[in-house]
Amino acid sequence: MPPPMTIPHVFVTMADILNLECDAWLLPTDSFLTIRRHWLGAHEDLQHLAAASCGDDFHTGRLFAQAVKDWDQTSPLPVLTAVPNNMAWGPQVVAERLEAFVKAAKDSLREPSSQRPFPLLAMPFFGTAGGGAGRHLGAVVRDILNCASDLSERYSVDIVLVLQDRAAFSLAQKLRREAQAAGSGWTPLDPQLQAKALTLGGKAKAGHLVPFLGAGVSVSAGAPTWGQLLERLRDGIDLKDASNVDFDRLGPLDQASVLEQMYVDQHGSRAAFEKAVATVVDLPRYGLAPALLATLPSAGAITLNYDRLFEMACADAQRPRTVLPENVPSVGGEWLLKLHGSVSKPDTIVLTRDDYLGFNSSRAALSALVKAHLLTHHLLFVGFGLADDHFHEIVHDVRRALPSHDPQRQQMGTVLSLFDEPHQRLVWSGKLDILPMTGSFPTWTTSSERDAAIQEAGRDMEIFLDMTAAYAADEHSYLLAPAYTQGLSPDEIELRRYLLALARLQQTPATAEVWGVISKTLTNLGFDPDAFYTDRAGNEN
């Protein structure tokens, strides 16, 4: 059960629901069980399972939502949710169908698959493909956000609105910033954390923030911690001497070295060890934290993780990244530096002591890239324990290069920490700003209490990243997007009218260069020269 003061929350991100780790998700359909091709990728027999799950109440419209029965419990549960057959749309239609989804999901999740304080329910931009809402998308964004906020509180669930339309995402984030200004935004965060999230969001919007991802970012998707990885690697060999006390007394790097040698001895090559590591960490779905981080506007990102979750999330957020050093980055493109290797190339994985000792001789250029970004950008460390010796070495070299008389300049980044660790702050004083999500380490009586406290703090971090991403969003493509008129404020409607008039002005050769800049700006604001524009009353605009 969640702590008494825990408050449900509504997240917004750009992602693909089929690749997002959650407890349940809204599968749009109708009373005839029409399912779009994209959603069929959730299961090879989804259409048959859907038909077997629904009775007359669903087909006749008396029931709006039905969880798919006999579903694999290791995968997020799809909940069939019907759009109206008559294509009618409005706030009431949104509310009754989304409530049916939430209720059906909550009833079916007697024991949620995750250990989150609240079940996490994911919903797409419901009703905008074939449900009749496609002509007034701006109003639907408002309706869904308002409804989701109400349902989240009433049913004690976390909800994530998962979008794939950039105009919808930019409008949703603008509306949430307005709600925050009115005092009803990210209320689960205390004022200090809210202020920090706003500041970091501003740095990201200006292009000054670089995410640095540690193993904790992937844990919500089921990825192992370092210790859990070593435990699972032991399952693939005949333990023999590796189960004795001497082995347990070794440090993690030396334990990995022993396991590597045992894989070589028992399987004939290091490739078996590399494959075992890749098998443990290569997961099919990313968690909420990578999805939120993927929306941040940053040219570069750095990770020590071997998995492919963040690059998958970036691709789904329509911000694909070139993975270094596997590929050659394009000029001006966004990149991800995988400092310790990747499961896509298991031979590059840095895990054992020999791997660490040989790093500088083989990958010095990668360390140099990290040092350059520590000097020129603000790094945001997420899910990172700060115990990596290689990272300590990098920070030490950078700090020596900075002027000693300017301690503020030596603050090279912000570390999001689950709990307050005073001694850790002392270690990194003058180098990194450590920002705890909650107070000091609690005293745990049982392992379940420990896990619950960690999950709660991890969820606070997700809420923090959600707010940071909202204030980092710097797109306004909803303003001139034809179907978003109903979502605009009166002042935006007036500005939109002037911009549309500007877009229709006659261009001349003498102003061609200037029009190149203007046209690019209008396109970024969502202008479509072939679209038919109307005002709120339906009159041509």
Mean pLDDT of the chain: 86
What's the pLDDT score for residue 352?
84
Q: How many helices (H) and strands (E) does the chain have?
A: 21, 13
Euclidean distance between CA atoms 313 and 427, whole angstroms: 33
Domain count, the chain: 4
Alpha helices in 243-388 (DSSP H): 245-249, 252-267, 270-281, 288-294, 309-316, 353-357, 359-376
CA–CA gap between residue 54 and residue 69 (Å, rounded) = 9
Pair (274, 296) in one structural domain: no
Say whether both 97 and 209 belong to one domain.
no
Clarify whether residues 346 and 358 are in a common domain.
yes
pLDDT in tens, 43-77: 999 999 999 999 999 999 999 999 999 999 889 99
Rounded to 5 degrees, φ, ψ at 58 are -70, -45
Domain's final residue, options 281, 311, 328? 281
Task: Report the pLDDT value the prediction gives residue 185, as an integer from 0 to 100.
Answer: 84
pLDDT of 539? 61
Q: How much is the pLDDT for 4?
A: 43
% of residues, the chain, pLDDT over 70: 89
Query: What whole-number distance in Å separates Cα of residue 402 and Cα of residue 476?
Result: 38
Binned at pLDDT 50, 70 and 90, residue 331 comes out as confident
What secondary structure, in 3-state letters, does 467-505 show?
A: HHHHHHCCCCCCCCCHHHHHHCCHHHHHHHHHHHHHHCC
Query: Cα(465)–Cα(479) distance, rounded to whole angstroms?
Result: 25
In the chain, the amino acid numbered 73 is Q
Are residues 275 and 309 located together in one domain of the fold? no
Radius of gyration of the chain (CA): 25
Q: What tokens were used for 149? A: 């906020």
* 360-385 pLDDT per residue, tens: 666 777 888 888 888 888 989 998 87
* 272: containing domain: 226-281
Of the ranges 9-18, 91-100, 434-443, 464-473, which one carries the lowest mean pLDDT score? 434-443
Same domain, 74 and 136: yes
Both 461 and 484 in one domain: the answer is no
Strand, coil or helix: what is 221?
Answer: coil
Q: Is the pLDDT at 453 greater than 90, yes or no?
A: no
Which of 472, 493, 517 terminates a domain? The answer is 472
Does 4 map to a domain?
no
What element of type H or E holds 195? helix 191-205
Same domain, 438 and 500: no
Q: Give the pLDDT band of residue 227 (cuts 50, 70, 90).
A: confident
Q: Has residue 195 been placed in a domain?
A: no
**pLDDT digit string, tens, across residues 460-514:** 999 999 999 999 998 899 999 988 887 788 899 999 999 999 998 888 888 888 9
Q: Are strands 24-29 and 77-82 parallel, antiparallel or unpaired?
A: parallel
In a domain, 198, yes or no: no
Give the span between the Cα atoms of 526 and 539, in whole angstroms: 20
pLDDT reported for residue 402: 65
* Residue where one domain finishes, among candidates 455, 472, 489: 472
Asked if residue 89 has pLDDT above 70, the reply is: yes
Q: Beta strand 322-324 with 300-303: parallel, antiparallel or unpaired?
A: unpaired
Instruction: Check: CB of residue 526 under 8 Å from CB of residue 484.
Output: yes
Quick check: is 196 in a domain? no
Nearest-CA neighbor of 288 among 465, 41, 27? 465
**Single-letter amino acid, residue 431:** K
Together in a domain, 235 and 292 = no
What is the DSSP track for 281-307?
A: H--S-B-HHHHHHHTS--SEEEE---S
Same domain, yes or no: 441 and 488: no
Give 346 or 317, the one with higher predicted confidence: 317
- The per-residue pLDDT for 114 is 60
Are residues 366 and 262 located together in one domain of the fold? no
Cβ-based neighbours of 258, under 8 Å, separated by 6 or more: 242, 247, 250
413: in domain: yes
Instruction: Say yes or no: 252 and 350 in one domain.
Output: no
Band of pLDDT at residue 447, cut at 50, 70 and 90: confident
Name the residue with higher pLDDT: 232 or 152: 152
- 81: region left, alpha or beta (phi > 0 left; psi from -120 to 50 alpha): beta
pTM across the whole model? 0.91
Q: Verify cis geometry, omega within 30 degrees of 0, for the bond prior to 3.
A: no
Inter-axis angle of helices 447-472 and 191-205, to 10 degrees? 50
Predicted local distance difference test score (pLDDT) of residue 22: 95
Query: Which SS3 state, helix, strand or coil, does residue 370 take?
Result: helix
Q: Residue 105: which of 76, 125, 83 has the closest Cα?
A: 76
219-233 average pLDDT score: 84
CA dist., res. 410 & res. 400, Å (int): 10
Structure confidence at residue 362 (pLDDT): 63
pLDDT tier for residue 98 given thresholds of 50, 70 and 90: very high
State whether 465 and 529 are in the same domain: no
Interval 411-422 mean pLDDT: 85
- Which residues, other chains included, contact 348 with Cβ-Cβ below 8 Å and sequence gap of 6+? 325, 326, 338, 341, 342
Provide the CATH number for the domain around residue 41: 3.40.220.10
CATH of the domain at 428: 3.40.50.1220
